[in-house]
Amino acid sequence: MSETIKLHCEIPDELTGMRLDQALAQLFPDYSRGQLTKWIKAGEVMVDNTQRRPRDKVHSGEQIQIRATLQVQDDHWQAEALHLDIVYEDEEVLILNKPAGMVVHPGAGNHQGTLVNALLNHAPSLIHIPRAGIVHRIDKQTTGLLMVAKTLRAHNSLIGQLQERTVLREYQAVVGGVLTAGGTVDAPLGRHHIDRKRMAVTDSGKPAVTYYRVIERFRAHTHIRCKLETGRTHQIRVHMAHIRHPLVGDPVYGGRMHGKGLSEACREAVTGFRRQALHAGVLGFEHPASGELVSWEVPIPDDMQQLIHALQTDMTITESS
């Protein structure tokens, strides 16, 4: 689905001598510089009725005419009356606490019941925002905070902050093995060379950095907090498996959790945990309208709380025996 964009302006004195793409980014802040550059290259931007290159200089008084096509949400994305756990909402942004089991975007085999379907029902105007306003995602079985842009200005701002790595994203996880201290995993990630649905540490991958620190140690597991510098697909899951501390319950990267040496109740809690024990608990960024630094925090969900309680109880049994 597409929408025709019609824009017009005159180059002001203060932008004389600036590159065309840079000038347009200042004149039309609702659109990213990358999007504007694509329009220039496609011949959809006219300067005094002539086509220019992105690097061409502009001059005071020149008339800018933009008639371009903006791709918006897919025609097959339908609104559905599904429950949303809304943490915060204003005219620019919406912050959600996603439950386990909910897919973010519709795709093959998941055309309904996704977060996008629910968002389009809650805020129909998101049909006019690329990808229905979702600028980042978390895995189907990961819980926690997601930010949604409700305007093109917010979309441009949040995408830019993600690219500049200034968005605060902190996760909590339960991993196998006992970590003695926090640390950093700096290892590039890319598609697995055989299984293209999986990610892997590979020299040809994109840079990926995860910081982690210990919250609590148990007999054979550790409760940790992770902070992302980058936001690659499955980043925490792959990075922790890479250092041989996979997430409890991870069906792809975790391997089988035997629960050896644990009490029976604790072993059942660990082996019976059917999703990766990962929760996006903290999210923060610069508000697109006010410029104020804003942040939110939501507690870990009940299933992770029960898992951690079982591990704590196991430690108590061990220490008293």
Quick one: pLDDT at residue 149? 96
Q: Are strands 183-186 and 168-176 parallel, antiparallel or unpaired?
A: unpaired
In this prediction the pTM is 0.78
Mean pLDDT of 101-107: 81
Stretch 111-120: mean pLDDT, rounded? 88
User: How is residue 316 written in tokens?
Assistant: 């108590």
- Whole-number Å distance between alpha carbons of 232 and 250: 17
Distance CA 13, CA 23 (A): 11
pLDDT tens per residue, range 283-314? 999 999 999 999 999 999 999 999 999 999 99
pLDDT of residue 31: 79
pLDDT at 261: 78
Give pLDDT, residue 51.
94
**E strands in 181-321:** 183-186, 189-191, 199-201, 209-217, 221-228, 278-286, 293-297
Hey, which residues does 143 pair with through a beta bridge? 279
pLDDT tens string 209-247: 999 999 999 999 999 999 999 889 999 999 999 999 999
What is the structure's pLDDT at 289?
A: 93
pLDDT greater than 60 at residue 319: no
Q: What is the mean pLDDT of residues 123-135?
A: 89
Positions marked active-site: 139
Q: Is the model's pLDDT at 17 over the cut of 70?
A: yes
| Averaged confidence pLDDT in the chain | 90
- Count of all residues that appear for the chain in the document: 321
Q: pLDDT tier at 250 (50, 70, 90 boundaries)?
A: very high
Q: Are 189 and 205 in contact (CB under 8 A)?
A: yes
